[in-house]
Structure 1
């Protein structure tokens, strides 16, 4: 796996070239990754989701697919946001640009995602039961409904990132 991010302030997750997926822990056993025996594996379904975000049924819940392009991704709980590193010279520069980027982002229409609690973010090709080792990030979400919105921003010359914000709904 090629590292596009550097170790530092936050934990980054990367894929082997396909989408990342955030699957609720309660339905991890149902995510088959690329190992599915059906005509289309869960990984195939994730690849077909299209766009920056998509929702796929998994068990009695749904997984959030981060599509568009493979990118190192970190969760910033203080902003309720997944940050996808598309281009930039340093982690510090990229992370410092997030607050202003959140204020000026051209947000796409939002989707609503109901989660039963914490989710794991990992490479969509991995089966859920094998996702708890290295290469994942746990998002400590409270059970409930979330508005999910995405945007791509250029907060500075040479810096590009994608944002996926998860806002709790009443």
Structure 2
């Protein structure tokens, strides 16, 4: 069994204050972030997403916006899940609470997300071509259609986390 809190096993992405976005690698150059000449930047569009998740067109694909709050976020590949650290005393405690959180979550309605393959998760304010190192996490996904559902859960008295679960429905 993987112990997530081992150094280097879980990579967390931070936000400067706005939403995080998972953009398919094939369309990264089309995400301008907060830059741009238009009235509403890509970042502005991401900030307009209401709720825990939403979808935005980017190039000929769709990106997944993790909205609601700028929580540190990690991807747990064996569970197909983004975990958002809203409150908790330690990484160990937070990650140990994930199974209980999944079992007790009151999930919001699913959205369907077509994914061409790997995505990069990063602060939506950054242009797609610029995030690097600790500013992003590469998430390897099988190409296909995913059901995405989200919940905010309190599995312990001082532990709050957001869950965004991806479930492959139809591989390409």
TM-score range, shorter chain: over 0.9
- TM (norm. structure 2) is 0.93
Give secondary structure in 2 for the equivalent of 1:55.
strand
Cα distance, 1:100 vs structure 2: 1.5
Give secondary structure in 1 for the equivalent of 2:129.
helix
Is the 2:13–2:136 contact (alpha carbons within 8 Å) kept by the matching residues of 1?
yes
Instruction: Measure the CA separation in 1 of the matches of 2:6 and 2:159.
Output: 18
- The Cα offsets for residues 93-129 of structure 1, whole Å up to 9 and x where unpaired, read as 0000101111111000000000100000000000001
Is the 2:28–2:129 contact (alpha carbons within 8 Å) kept by the matching residues of 1?
yes
Instruction: Measure the CA separation in 2 of the matches of 1:50 and 1:101.
Output: 22
Cα distance, 1:134 vs structure 2: 3.4
Unaligned runs of 5+ in 2: none
Q: How many residues align?
A: 165
RMSD, aligned α-carbons: 1.3
Q: Does 1:134 align with 2:130?
A: no
Q: Does 1:101 align with 2:109?
A: no
Instruction: Measure the CA separation in 2 of the matches of 1:7 and 1:130.
Output: 28
Partner of 1:3: none
- The Cα offsets for residues 43-80 of structure 1, whole Å up to 9 and x where unpaired, read as 00000011100000000001100000100000000110
- TM (norm. structure 1) is 0.94
Partner of 2:158: 158
Is the 2:13–2:134 contact (alpha carbons within 8 Å) kept by the matching residues of 1?
no
Unaligned runs of 5+ in 1: 1-5
Partner of 2:33: 33
Q: Does 1:75 align with 2:75?
A: yes
